Chains A and B, each alone.
Chain A
Amino acid sequence: MKEEKVKFIIIIAGSIFMVIFCILPFIFMALVSFSSRPDFLSARTLFSFTLKNYYSVLTTPSLHFIDYLRNSLVISGISAGFCVLIAALAAYSITRLSLPHKTFILFFVLAVSMFPQISLVSYLFKFMAGVGWINTYRALVFPYIAWILPLSLWILVSYFAQIPRDLDRAGLIDGCSRWQILRKIIFPVAAPGIFSTALLAFIFAFNEFMFALMLTSDHHARTVPVGIALFQGLHGELPWGDIMAASTITTIPVVILTIMFQRHIIQGLTRGAVKG
């Protein structure tokens, strides 16, 4: 009885600490973005609410925030879509067809995902410069697809492996070709898994930094993380209000997405990692 009570208190205290730990920086971020001056903590003046930071971020063309946001969304969306498609085909092959060395392929792909990005980036830079793709969407989409493939493959393999083989066999009996089995049975049945994977792939592409830093040069292809990291004021002092407003705008959709699809994200993440 007593142990239960102590345990309960510890857990509640732990939860509170956990929540504060996780969201305090965001609260600060939001506060600064709505504040007329970033130094309200030390200033003698009180916190005064304003929307001018948002207004300036969204309407000042020279800040290119809207461009960055669009670039990020388009690049991440295209990458995630193709990545899931390619990974799904491969996962089907690995789980369903008589492919030798399946385990080797899976682990090789996993090992590939351990490579440091810095070892890829010099070649990619030269390659993209060679074909004239630097600062285009293509320069990021192709490496992103490859970069996220290992994770997507692992998640999808674990989902596909769970679909009973009898469904494939029933499809064969009912007259499906391989391709029809994939399209009419495996894909729809694994739809939740495919959705989780796509969501994770999108988040990974959206968060990527180094490739975007090296392979883009301005607002034509630069993504939000790089845009915000390189955000400079027009004169000297960093425009913290603008930066935090831009950060908040970028963060809010991600937060909503995370809360809405919390279950899918967790499932996807743990499938990819714990399965092994």
Chain B
Amino acid sequence: MLKDINKIRNYRELREAYSFLLPLIVFILAFILLPVAGAIFTSLFKDISFLEKKFIFFENYKYLFKDPGFWQAFRFTMLFLIVSVPLEMIFGLLFAVILNQSIPFRGCLRACVLIPWAIPAAISARTWELIYNYHYGLANFLFMKLGLTNAPINWLGSNLGAFSSLVISDVWKTTPFVAIILLAGLQAIPVELHAQARVDRANFLQRFYKITLPLLKPVLIVALLFRTIDALRIFDLVYVLTMGGPGGVTTSFSMYGYRYFLAGDFGYGSSVSVVLFIIALGLSIFYVRIGKWGKEVI
């Protein structure tokens, strides 16, 4: 009898709770989950504009794994991730440590750091494109003036140049995000701990390694997760700066898939996007596992 009432009560409350949640569920279902399911579904078809749709099962994937273009995109994306993410973490940590000091104009500094993050990537990429200009870009001007090189560097036209250009621009754009998140982590570390360590005569570096870094670990992993996922799906920077060039060496996964969509080959493009999706999912699960974060959310 008692149980019955509980059930009825719970049912009413549950309905109420879900009714507040409903709009969110509808939007995520209709515009995120359904599209992903659609992509998985389409990837099993030969689906090219103006041609007849044909179910071909895993043919797209089979072709994909034999496609040198795909492996090039894979190589570039992974290399980009492995180089840019650690740089962002290091710079971000450095910035966060500086921002955490009591220095004059702290608010102003924080705002400055935020600006690269707040500007649309496509717009700042356009500026970077000009900065990397062979003839009159700021990069070559500074490098020559500082005596770092004798001849101007072909930033966007050479393999290494294009890759470094993308890394530099990405580090510039996203370091602020990392710095802000890590700053919050730093501020959560109790001041007493550092005071105690000082009393115990630990020097600056020892304090950093023994206290700051271990306590910052969960936040570091969160930042790492966000950055990894973002680097994996890099698109706008590549689109504006190199268009995947020169000779396709800077084609990222997203860029590669986009080319096929642009050409109207939805089946094959979808299979590329599904592979990227699986990699992203796998990496997230990996980070969540090593971080064990999110145990006490609410």
Identify the A interface with B (CB < 8 A). 3, 7, 11-12, 14-15, 18-19, 21-26, 28-29, 32, 38-43, 86-87, 89-90, 92-95, 97-100, 102-103, 105-107, 109, 111-112, 114-127, 142-143, 145-147, 149-150, 153, 157, 161, 178, 203, 206-207, 209-210, 213-214, 224-226, 228-229, 231, 240, 243-244, 247, 250-251, 254-255, 257-259, 262-263, 265-266, 269-270, 273-276
Among B107, B138, B177, chain A packs the most CB atoms within 10 A around the CB of: B138
Q: Is B113 an interface residue (CB 8 A)?
A: yes
Instruction: Give the contacting residue for A28; candidates B35, B130, B277; CB below 8 A.
Output: B130
Chain A residues contacting B181 (CB-CB under 8 Å) are: 269-270, 273-274
Instruction: Give the contacting residue for B18; candidates A87, A93, A106, A121; CB below 8 A.
Output: A93
Chain A residues contacting B32 (CB-CB under 8 Å) are: 112, 115, 120, 146-147
Q: Is B188 an interface residue (CB 8 A)?
A: yes
Question: Do the beta carbons of B203 and A90 come within 8 Å of each other?
Answer: no
Among A18, A94, A124, chain B packs the most CB atoms within 10 A around the CB of: A18
Nearest CB to that of B152 among chain A residues? Answer: A42
Separation in Å of the A27 CB from the closest CB of chain B? 9
Beyond A86-B24, A118-B254, A262-B111, list 15 extra A-B contacts (CB 8 Å). Answer: A25-B128, A26-B127, A28-B130, A86-B27, A90-B20, A90-B21, A115-B36, A117-B254, A120-B36, A142-B30, A209-B120, A213-B239, A244-B130, A247-B124, A266-B110
A118→B94 CA distance, assembly (Å)? 33
Question: Do the beta carbons of A114 and B293 come within 8 Å of each other?
Answer: no
When A229-B236, A250-B120 are in contact, do A116 and B16 touch as well, CB less than 8 Å?
Answer: no
How many B residues are at the interface, by size bracket? Answer: 35 or more
Question: Do the beta carbons of B103 and A229 come within 8 Å of each other?
Answer: no
Question: Do the beta carbons of B126 and A3 come within 8 Å of each other?
Answer: no
Question: Do the beta carbons of B122 and A226 come within 8 Å of each other?
Answer: yes
When A23-B112, A94-B298, A125-B261 are in contact, do A229 and B240 touch as well, CB less than 8 Å?
Answer: yes
Nearest CB to that of A13 among chain B residues? Answer: B98
A269→B184 CA distance, assembly (Å)? 10
Q: Is B222 an interface residue (CB 8 A)?
A: yes
Binding site secondary structure of chain A: helix
Binding site secondary structure of chain B: helix
Separation in Å of the B14 CB from the closest CB of chain A? 7
Question: Do the beta carbons of B239 and A209 come within 8 Å of each other?
Answer: yes
Chain A residues contacting B115 (CB-CB under 8 Å) are: 22-23, 26, 254-255, 258
Binds A, one of B64-72, B153-161, B266-274: B266-274
Question: Do the beta carbons of B172 and A25 come within 8 Å of each other?
Answer: yes
Question: Do the beta carbons of B172 and A11 come within 8 Å of each other?
Answer: no
Chain B residues contacting A262 (CB-CB under 8 Å) are: 107, 110-111, 114
Chain B residues contacting A105 (CB-CB under 8 Å) are: 21
Identify the B interface with A (CB < 8 A). 10, 13-14, 16-18, 20-21, 23-24, 27-28, 30-36, 38-39, 42, 94-95, 98, 101, 103, 107-116, 118-128, 130-131, 135-138, 141, 172, 176-177, 180-181, 183-185, 188, 203-204, 219, 222-223, 226, 229, 232-233, 235-236, 239-240, 253-254, 257-258, 261, 266, 269-270, 272-274, 276-277, 280-281, 284, 293-294, 297-298
Question: Do the beta carbons of A22 and B239 come within 8 Å of each other?
Answer: no
A7→B203 CA distance, assembly (Å)? 11
A97→B32 CA distance, assembly (Å)? 26
Nearest CB to that of A6 among chain B residues? Answer: B204
Chain B residues contacting A23 (CB-CB under 8 Å) are: 112, 115
A30→B272 CA distance, assembly (Å)? 39
Chain A residues contacting B257 (CB-CB under 8 Å) are: 118
